[in-house]
Amino acid sequence: MVLFLGSGASIGAIHPENIEPPIGSKLASMLAEKFLGDEFKRRPLAQVAELAISETGLFEVQSFISNVFQDFTPADFHKAIPTFRWAAIATTNYDLIIEKAYNEVEKKIQSLIVFKKNGERVEEKLRSADNVIYLKLHGCITNIADDATPLILTPEQYITHKEGRSRLFERLQSLAYEFPILFVGHNLADSDIRAILHELSQLGVAKPRSYILTPQITSTEKRFWETKKFTCLEASFEDFIHELDQQFPSEFRSLVKLKAATEYPIFNKFPISANKRLSESLDTLLSRDLEYIHKSYKATDIDPKAFYKGYFTDLSPIIHNLDVRRTITDYILSEIFLESEASRREHVEFFVIKGHAGSGKSVLLRRLAWEASVDYDKLCLFVSSNSHIGYEALYELYRLTKERLFLFIDPATEYKDLIELLIENARKDKLPLTIISAERYNEWNTECEALEPYLTDNYEVKYLKPKEIESLIKLLTEHDSLGHLKGLTLEKQTEALSKKAGRQLLVALHEATLGKPFSDIIFDEYHSITSPEAQSLYLTVCILHRLGVHTRAGLISRVHEIPFSLFKEKLFKPLEFIVFTSRDDLIKDYYYRSRHSHIAEMVFERVLVEQQDRFDEYVRLISNLDIDYNSDREAFKGLLNAKQLLNLFQDPQMIRQLYAVANYRVKNDPKLMQQEAIFEMTSPDGNLNRATNLLETAHNLASYDKAIAHSLSVLALNKANRSATELEKNKLCLSG
């Protein structure tokens, strides 16, 4: 359940001046006395605050309010809140009562993580699965100096300054799709609470039943809110919490226990004498951001048919030996993992495995990690999807293990900034680090130019060889996955696969076993989904997975207005073996993905043929992304990539409209400005003046960003080439 705290939730709080409820009325009186005069003491808070701000200024009024609320402390019933497990907590209050309650209660079940405005990265703030997010929708007295996100005191501010916290309101809406919400308010005349209740009521049947807790409510109001799936409970918050405390013994409240740090398998790599107490950052790295590969790794059950259709998420297919062991495997193992430290050319190495989409690069990476770890006892770590790795934690891991770290990162494009950062820092510290990554040929050539100087060597995954085809047929036979090849002689099976092996492994598997061109197979598969809702959801997942991004359930809820529970009940069956889900315990959300990014790309190209259809889908996604989540931020970057957009849309005005939507959605983002500038520099009808303004602004916002500085240099050269005079051309060349 989500706990929503309105003005009534602060009643009972203790203040040295014994301020009595209702606090809102008392605050209005105090503001009037301080800034306006006695004749305004009985006016509503919103009106008094509006006039006080007009007379003296926003900061002065907010500073006064901060001083009033600073000394409020939680009552005993407030301290019961941390002893329950909540899906989330939200409030329209500015005070610190809940924060203080969580700080003072030793036996709290969760740690409170406060979110006050847009731009606070979710995964970076959440350090463990036992955190609970606390959304301060109307601001906080600890953040009164920020003009962009002032305390919401007036009706006008609710309209204009909700913008700086728009993603907090959207998170509440996403939570309402999945969880019942308990609203606590002194009375339903509170305009702020009523506005939020009405917004959530627009979710309709998709929204679970929620509850309104208030000591004052009429039967007419009860009937009204009942029509909107809100059940009204007539009680004070204090009485409700006391009743809850009595009805649910403490031993039944905490159902989730975190794994103790001493359980990490990587501790076997630590010297016996090593101190195994980890820093918080290293604990987060091991529990969330990296997967340690070891011989006791617990494989999950996997359907071989799903794997041979291109789906896998972890090492399980490798451990079960479902993959065809490529002949290049031993060569790479020998060159990268069996090389002695004395023979290595440098402390820091970077290798990339290249191949076409669907050629088996990701499977090969996991095969290498598994064999290097199990057979040769190397310290192999796989970077988890949507992770945020800190170099300091990685260095701490090396100090504890005293071993070369073999870090697997897939794909290179998605993590190119991280790869560059890790290599630069590791070189300075002479940290023994080997990074092994994978990427498609075209993506490496167009997106990874900055990584070329760091490259130690590269390997290519080529077409299936005769022995590999023979092994593949044995595996398909063993796991009843021959499909169209079943019943044919071994010679015919080999011939069928050999004809397809001149292309990607994934294509060969589909075309040989199903007897159709790959593109037609995928297109037919899409049209075989009978439910229009499931079909639309699959398309959304494919739009993002083709960019290497998994789709967060919270995003799906907003785009399709469908909760995960409904998806599980009604849409799992038509999307079986097509869309897969996984849960992220840290953010308490699910992720969707297709079985392979190459398949996702094919669905996108075959279904969204018309430019307008692509444009509409892009607008719908961009308008709903919450870039404070890692996956949404990666999706935002991928969707707005200038080169990608120029390949997808022939009409430059469509691209400009997409950037307009993105700029409305995310304010003052230097990376977005850079991509828009690249578009203006590259488009046949591009505007170099517009590009100049964008890049200069982006550089002012992020002067540390090498990519933006590089774009500025390219812009100067472009302008020089178009210059009409030699003097101007020389000046521009020098500035570039």
Answer with the one of 251, 279, 295 that is the final residue of a domain. 251
Residues 140 and 210 in one domain: yes
Strand order of the sheet with strand 551-552? 551-552, 589-594, 579-584
pLDDT digits (tens, 9 = 90+) for 367-381: 999 999 999 999 999
Pairing of strands 111-115, 589-594: unpaired
Residue type, 267: F
Q: Is a pLDDT exceeding 70 seen at residue 608?
A: yes
pLDDT band per the 50, 70, 90 thresholds, residue 256: very low
List the single range of 161-175, 324-338, 630-644 with lowest mean pLDDT.
Answer: 161-175
* Residue 345 lies inside a defined structural domain of this protein: yes
Average pLDDT (345-365) is 91
pLDDT digits (tens, 9 = 90+) for 281-314: 888 888 888 999 999 898 888 888 888 877 788 8
Residues 308 and 390 in one domain: yes
pLDDT band per the 50, 70, 90 thresholds, residue 534: confident
Residues 476 and 344 in one domain: no
**Short-list 437, 449, 412, CA closest to 643:** 449
Give the per-residue pLDDT at 259.
Answer: 39
Hunting for tokens 């290293």 — which residue is that? 282
Answer with the one of 610, 633, 667 that is the final residue of a domain. 667
User: How buried is 396 (Cβ within 10 angstroms: 0-12 exposed, 13-18 middle, 19+ buried)?
Assistant: middle
Gap between the Cα atoms of 283 and 500, Å rounded:
46
Give the per-residue pLDDT at 253.
Answer: 62
Pairing of strands 405-409, 433-440: parallel
- Which one-letter DSSP state was computed for residue 211? E
Contact 506, 598 (CB under 8 A): yes
pLDDT digits (tens, 9 = 90+) for 413-455: 888 889 999 999 999 999 999 999 999 888 898 889 899 999 9
H/E segment holding residue 681 = helix 670-682
Q: Is a pLDDT exceeding 80 seen at residue 731?
A: no
- Would residue 6 be called left, alpha or beta, if left means φ above 0 and alpha means ψ between -120 and 50 degrees? beta
* Residue 43 lies inside a defined structural domain of this protein: no
Give the dihedral sign, CA 75/77/78/82: positive
CA distances (Å), origin 149, targets 60, 93, 122: 15, 14, 18
Answer with the one of 622, 652, 667 that is the final residue of a domain. 667
Q: Is a pLDDT exceeding 90 seen at residue 30?
A: no
Residues 406 and 553 in one domain: no
Which tokens go with 373? 């770890």
Percentage of the chain lying above the pLDDT 90 cut: 39
* Residue 49 lies inside a defined structural domain of this protein: no
Hunting for tokens 């088996």 — which residue is that? 360
Residues 433 and 374 in one domain: yes
Give the per-residue pLDDT at 587.
Answer: 86
Gap between the Cα atoms of 190 and 145, Å rounded:
26
Radius of gyration of the chain (CA): 29
Give the per-residue pLDDT at 192.
Answer: 62
Residues 315 and 445 in one domain: yes
Which tokens go with 379? 């310290």
pLDDT digits (tens, 9 = 90+) for 638-649: 999 999 999 999
Give the per-residue pLDDT at 257.
Answer: 41
Which value, to the nearest 10 degrees, does the dihedral of the CA atoms of residues 47, 49, 51, 57 take?
-160
How many residues make up the chain in this entry? 736
Contact 365, 353 (CB under 8 A): yes
Gap between the Cα atoms of 422 and 435, Å rounded:
9
Gap between the Cα atoms of 432 and 126, Å rounded:
30
pLDDT digits (tens, 9 = 90+) for 391-419: 999 999 999 999 999 999 999 988 888 99
* Residue 55 lies inside a defined structural domain of this protein: no
Please give the tally of structural domains in the chain.
5
* Residue 52 lies inside a defined structural domain of this protein: no
Which of 29-38, 216-225, 477-486, 632-641 holds the top average pLDDT? 632-641
Which value, to the nearest 10 degrees, does the dihedral of the CA atoms of residues 709, 715, 721, 724 take?
-120
Which tokens go with 247? 């009805």
Indicate the average pLDDT of the chain: 85
Q: Is a pLDDT exceeding 60 seen at residue 503?
A: no
Average pLDDT (677-700) is 92
pLDDT band per the 50, 70, 90 thresholds, residue 483: confident
* Residue 19 lies inside a defined structural domain of this protein: no
Pairing of strands 379-383, 348-355: unpaired
- Say whether 522 sits in a helix, a strand or coil: helix
> How many secondary structure helices (H) and strands (E) does the chain include?
34, 16
pLDDT digits (tens, 9 = 90+) for 447-472: 898 999 999 999 999 888 889 889 98
pLDDT digits (tens, 9 = 90+) for 92-118: 888 999 999 999 998 888 999 999 999
H/E segment holding residue 392 = helix 391-401
Which tokens go with 201? 């009521």
pLDDT digits (tens, 9 = 90+) for 200-210: 777 665 678 88
pLDDT digits (tens, 9 = 90+) for 124-149: 888 777 889 999 998 999 988 888 88
Residues 270 and 393 in one domain: yes
Residues 224 and 268 in one domain: no
Give the per-residue pLDDT at 409.
Answer: 95
Give the per-residue pLDDT at 661.
Answer: 96
Residues 597 and 696 in one domain: no
Gap between the Cα atoms of 411 and 381, Å rounded:
15
Contacts of 569 (CB under 8 A, 6+ apart): none
H/E segment holding residue 114 = strand 111-115
Gap between the Cα atoms of 268 and 274, Å rounded:
11
Residues 314 and 438 in one domain: yes
Give the per-residue pLDDT at 637.
Answer: 93
* Residue 58 lies inside a defined structural domain of this protein: no
* Residue 57 lies inside a defined structural domain of this protein: no
Residues 492 and 573 in one domain: no
* Residue 181, phi then psi, degrees to nearest 5: -120, 135
List the single range of 82-86, 274-278, 483-487, 682-686 with lowest mean pLDDT.
Answer: 274-278
Contact 612, 618 (CB under 8 A): no
Give the per-residue pLDDT at 244.
Answer: 84
On the question of a cis peptide bond just before residue 22, with omega within 30 degrees of 0, the verdict is yes
Give the per-residue pLDDT at 260.
Answer: 41
Q: Is a pLDDT exceeding 80 seen at residue 526?
A: yes
Q: Is a pLDDT exceeding 70 seen at residue 502?
A: no
The CATH number of the domain holding residue 171 is 3.40.50
Give the per-residue pLDDT at 255.
Answer: 42
Percentage of the chain lying above the pLDDT 70 cut: 88
Give the per-residue pLDDT at 614.
Answer: 95
pLDDT digits (tens, 9 = 90+) for 209-242: 888 888 888 889 889 888 888 898 888 888 888 8
pLDDT band per the 50, 70, 90 thresholds, residue 546: very high
Contact 138, 105 (CB under 8 A): no
Gap between the Cα atoms of 402 and 396, Å rounded:
10
Which structural domain range is residue 295 located in? Answer: 263-460
Gap between the Cα atoms of 214 and 11, Å rounded:
12
- Which one-letter DSSP state was computed for residue 591? E
Gap between the Cα atoms of 222 and 553, Å rounded:
32
Which tokens go with 550? 């998994």
Give the dihedral sign, CA 504/509/510/514: positive
Give long-range contacts, CB 8 A cutoff, 24+ apart: 452-456.
454/350, 454/419, 454/420, 454/423, 455/350, 455/351, 455/352, 456/345, 456/346, 456/349, 456/350, 456/351
Contact 123, 587 (CB under 8 A): yes
Which tokens go with 604? 């996108």
Give the per-residue pLDDT at 444.
Answer: 92
Gap between the Cα atoms of 81 and 241, Å rounded:
8
Residues 470 and 570 in one domain: no
